[in-house]
Amino acid sequence: MAFKALGITNNDIVFCSSLTFSATANPIIYQNATPVFIDSEKETWNMDPRALEKAFKKYPNPKAVIVVHLYGTPAKIEEIRDICNKHNVPLVEDAAESLGATFNKKQTGTFGKFGIYSFNGNKIITTSGGGMLVSDNNERIQKVRFWATQSREPARHYEHKEIGYNYRMSNICAGIGRGQLKVLDKRIEKKTNIYERYKKSFEGISEIEMQPYMANSKPNHWLSAIILDKTSKIKPIDIIEALENENIESRPIWKPMHMQPFFKDYDFITLEKEKSIAQDIFERGVCLPSDTKITDEEQKKVIKIIKKLFI
């Protein structure tokens, strides 16, 4: 809906984070537009502003930029916004994973022309499914609400001048969402404690580093993710399997979009000569159990299983 509101259509170019979940990129294809994927930087794992600048040199006229705040860690969003403003290109933020996370005390999802949030079952708060679009442009929001509720013209007999969509949230789901919104701060606190405990526990292991974030940002720590040193003999799959043996689920990092069979033929902009940062993080990273329901005992067990691999 954000892309439609921005008028994105056949063969328009949209710059998109490569290291993300496919839901960031899919709507580019829904609009018959062309994604150009952008590499990550190492300080937040999100879109590298320098790679974005490089993309603008190759494609001076993209119709939008969409950037993700991966695992709830804010991207270098002010730099990215400034680059977009300089080139007069609208910015859309995929804040699906980062509800409540801030950059310079400002909420992720509110820097661009549009921000999107997800209330899917796995997110920090959920309505079982669905999401939310935000913008400071009331006219655009009204238009999206119109499309999302089947484009019904104000006429008794159901008049349709435009194609409609059934993208609205049901009142029951919205009610659940409003209830959950009240516990968001508590969830962020819990997720932050989980992240901090992992961080402290792995301090003695030089091969493990937590997903980093900018000092002027506050992630919601939706997922605690680690990256293993290049020299580490232990690989992500060793950790995943060791946990799996104890019936504990962990996951690799999202496989970058430029490596996905569906998207691999689209262009990818990186500053690296050999391996991209996105691919490197994908190959060396692990998402650890981060559910707010994890108990201290359970997290201790996870930490113990991982630590055992390194001695």
The binding site for ligand PLP (CB under 6 A) comprises 20-21, 23-24, 68, 94, 96-97, 118, 120, 131
- State the nearest-atom distance from the C-beta of 120 to ligand PLP, in Å: 4
Instruction: Characterize the bridge pairing of strands 131-134 and 114-118.
Output: antiparallel
- State the nearest-atom distance from the C-beta of 9 to ligand PLP, in Å: 22
- Compute the Cα dihedral for 107, 40, 279, 267 and give only its sign: positive
Angle in degrees, 0-180, between the axes of helices 184-201 and 296-309, rounded to the nearest 10 = 30
- State the nearest-atom distance from the C-beta of 95 to ligand PLP, in Å: 9
Give whichever of 205 and 289 is closer to ligand PLP, judged by the CB atom. Answer: 289
Instruction: Let me know the angle formed at the C-alpha of 5 by 254 and 140, rounded to the nearest 5 degrees.
Output: 115
Give whichever of 173 and 234 is closer to ligand PLP, judged by the CB atom. Answer: 173
- State the nearest-atom distance from the C-beta of 69 to ligand PLP, in Å: 8
Largest CA distance in the chain: 73
- State the nearest-atom distance from the C-beta of 96 to ligand PLP, in Å: 3
What is the C-alpha separation between 156 and 270, in angstroms, rounded?
A: 54
Length of the chain, in residues: 311
What is the C-alpha separation between 228 and 220, in angstroms, rounded?
A: 22
Give whichever of 22 and 206 is closer to ligand PLP, judged by the CB atom. Answer: 22
Give whichever of 120 and 192 is closer to ligand PLP, judged by the CB atom. Answer: 120
Give whichever of 62 and 131 is closer to ligand PLP, judged by the CB atom. Answer: 131
